[in-house]
Amino acid sequence: MRPADEKLLTLLKANAREPTASLARKLGLARSTVQERISRLEREGVIRGYTVSLSAEAEARKLRAVVMITADPKQAERVTTELKKMGEVRALLAVSGAFDMVATVEADTAAKMDAALDRIGRANGVARTVSSIILSEKFSR
C-alpha cells in the first residue's frame, strides 16, 4: 500500500466524517485525488465500511464481556457459525494459547448477558468457556 494511502487511512480512522477537502489539505493532495483513493480503497475491500463511535457515557450503559472459548478442534467452524448468529457476540477472534477463540459480547442488562453467556457455553462444539465482565475501557484506537 502506498504511504499516502496509509496516511489517508489513519486520518479516516480518527474521523471517518472528515470532509474530503480537509483530508486533501492534510495530505497535500487534490480533493479529486483523495476521493479517487477512497473509492479505490473501498472497491479493493481495504475500507469495509464506516462506523459510529459512541461516547464513554453511552458505552457505559451496556454490559460487555470477554469470553475465552475452548472448542472441539473438529467443531471450530461450527462454533464460529453458531456464534455469528448471536447478536450479542460483537466479535470472535481465533487465538493461540490456552484457548481457541475469544469473543466480545454486549448486552443491555445483566439478565441478557447471563443468557448470552449460557447460549455460548451450550453452543455445539464449545467444550469450555471462561468469561470476564469488562469494567472500563482505558483507551481504544
Q: What are the extents of the domains in the chain?
A: 3-43, 56-133
d(CA 56, CA 16): 18
Q: What's residue 62's pLDDT?
A: 87
Q: Which of 66, 110, 104 is nearest to 88 (CA)?
A: 104
Q: What's residue 130's pLDDT?
A: 98
Q: What's residue 93's pLDDT?
A: 97
d(CA 130, CA 6): 37
Contact 97, 44 (CB under 8 A): no
Give the sign of the dihedral formed by CA 103, CA 95, CA 83, CA 69.
negative
Contact 123, 82 (CB under 8 A): yes
Q: What's residue 2's pLDDT?
A: 85
CATH 1.10.10.10 fits 3-43, yes or no: yes
- 3-43 with 56-133: one CATH topology? no
Residues near 30 by beta carbon (within 8 Å), at least 6 away in sequence: 24
Q: Which portions of the chain are predicted below pLDDT 70?
A: 56, 59-60, 141
Q: What's residue 57's pLDDT?
A: 73
Q: What's residue 1's pLDDT?
A: 78
Domain 56-133 CATH (choose: 3.40.50.300, 3.30.70.920, 3.90.230.10, 3.30.1330.60) = 3.30.70.920
